[in-house]
Amino acid sequence: MDQLTRRRLFALGASGLAVALSGCNGTAVRKAEQSAAAPSSTAGAPSSVGKATIGLTYIPNIQFAPFYWAAERGEFSERGVQATLRHHGANEGLFTALGAGQEDFAIAGGDEVLQAQAEGLDLVTVAGYYQSYPVVLIVPQDSPIKALSDLKGKRIGVPGEYGETWFGLQVALANAGLDRSQVTVTSIGYTQQAALATRKVDVIVGFSNNDVVQFRQSAMAVRQIPIGSDIPLVSSSVVTTRTTLEQRPQLVRAVCQGVVAGVGAVVADPAAALEVSVDHIPGLGGAKARQGAMATLKATIPLWKGEEEEPSLRLSSEKFIAMESFMRQAGLLTAQVDPLKAVEVKVLG
């Protein structure tokens, strides 16, 4: 998904992380406007479970609307959480601040958590965020590519050999019964529209709630092709450290419950969510920007809901087991990991 996944600088190695921490000076761009929870002796007031800094990656974006909502509308504070929303610095690794204790939670793919575990970082996924995987194949409307089997011999553009677009491509090839030698994969950075419009590539791997939306707003007619009906990957989720989970379980549960409430509110009333997000996203005040943001929101709602009527954001240990097996077989893990150590399903029940 767009800023949630696309420009992540993946500082994963344990030794590399230590080096990165020494130079980390990311700046919190906005503190949630919440009052401290009243003492537990006050009737009707929530007991404080503590402070939490939540990392939202690099750029404020409407895809974070549930967090903006939870901060502004009291979903965190009503559960005793004094929350700070923090967008990472541009040169900061995805998990750098989490490992340094500058963040208590981060939003990252469950697949990225498995990669981090393989590199020695003790992270754990405690709640979902996107219930459906957002990666799709995108082709021009008049393309002869109609199905995954049509990829053979075609030129496929990806931002690079990392992150969810790269993982999604491996799923697409596996479902098509193809290997890398049967296609031409080209790293095109973030030039998806130009690469597809000029036919530099035949297909790009992108996000249903970002790249597809941008193509359509640019008036270029495109089609999206699912990477499969059964995708063995877990997308953006709420992640913390094992230490935080074990030492501050009430805080972890309260934060996750606040996120669930925020997602539910945004799904129920995207127009109100857009208004709440204006103060968090620079440039969202203009009519054109609002139109684009609303298009992204509408495309993101199916990802938040998945197959559920109301998003629960519950996790599945079976899904993590299947994901680890696929990623290992696809060569996406540098070491053996225990998938059950990368997820805690009891936080949300």
**If DSSP states are collapsed to H, E and C, what string results for 52-73?**
EEEECCCCCCHHHHHHHHHHHC
Reported as a single tens digit per residue, the pLDDT across 216-238 is 898 899 999 999 998 999 999 99
Name which residue leads in pLDDT, 70 or 16. 70
The one-letter code for the residue type at 158 is: V
How many angstroms separate the CA atoms of 24 and 38, rounded? 34
Sign (positive or negative) of CA dihedral 66, 71, 75, 80? positive
Is pLDDT at 336 greater than 60 in this prediction? yes
33 and 123 both lie in a single domain:
yes
Reported as a single tens digit per residue, the pLDDT across 122-165 is 999 999 999 999 999 999 999 999 999 999 999 999 999 999 99
304 and 265 both lie in a single domain:
yes
Strand order in the sheet with 123-128: 30-31, 81-86, 50-55, 105-109, 236-241, 123-128
Give 177-233 as a DSSP string: T--GGGSEEEE-TT-HHHHHHTTSSSEEEEETTTHHHHHHHTT--EEEEES-SS---
Is pLDDT at 338 greater than 50 in this prediction? yes
105 and 241 both lie in a single domain:
yes
272 and 218 both lie in a single domain:
no
Q: Does 348 fall in a domain?
A: no
Which phi and psi angles does 212 have, rounded to 5°?
A: -60, -40
12 and 31 both lie in a single domain:
yes
pLDDT mean over 259-286: 95
Cβ within 8 Å of residue 222, ≥6 positions away: 138, 139, 140, 141, 196, 212, 215, 216
105 and 244 both lie in a single domain:
yes
Reported as a single tens digit per residue, the pLDDT across 233-267 is 999 999 999 999 999 999 999 999 999 999 999 99
Name which residue leads in pLDDT, 119 or 44. 119
Name which residue leads in pLDDT, 187 or 13. 187
6 and 118 both lie in a single domain:
yes
Q: Does 349 fall in a domain?
A: no
Q: Does 27 fall in a domain?
A: yes
Reported as a single tens digit per residue, the pLDDT across 173-195 is 999 999 999 999 999 998 999 99
Q: Does 66 fall in a domain?
A: yes
Tokens 């890398």: give the residue: 180
- CA 116 to the chain's CA centroid: 15
How many angstroms separate the CA atoms of 207 and 165, rounded? 8
Q: Mean of the per-residue pLDDT values for the chain? A: 87
Q: What is the pLDDT of residue 45?
A: 52
8 and 123 both lie in a single domain:
yes
E strand or H helix at 300: helix 287-305
Is pLDDT at 19 greater than 80 in this prediction? no
113 and 260 both lie in a single domain:
yes
- Other Cβ atoms less than 10 A from the Cβ of 164: the count is 26
108 and 240 both lie in a single domain:
yes
What is the number of domains present in the chain? 2
Q: What is the CATH number of the domain that holds 147?
A: 3.40.190.10
What range does the domain containing 20 cover?
2-132+234-342
Is pLDDT at 30 greater than 90 in this prediction? no
28-56 in b/e form (b: 16+ CB < 10 A) is ebeebebeebeeeeeeeebebbeebbbbb
How many angstroms separate the CA atoms of 127 and 157, rounded? 31
Residue 151 · residue 180 · CB < 8 Å: no
In the structure, what pLDDT confidence band is assigned to residue 89 with cuts at 50, 70 and 90?
A: confident
- Strand-pair category, 135-140 with 203-207: antiparallel
Residue 99 · residue 21 · CB < 8 Å: yes
In the chain the first and final C-alpha atoms are separated, in Å, by: 26
Last residue of some domain: 206, 226, 246?
Answer: 226
The one-letter code for the residue type at 82 is: Q
Last residue of some domain: 190, 205, 226?
Answer: 226
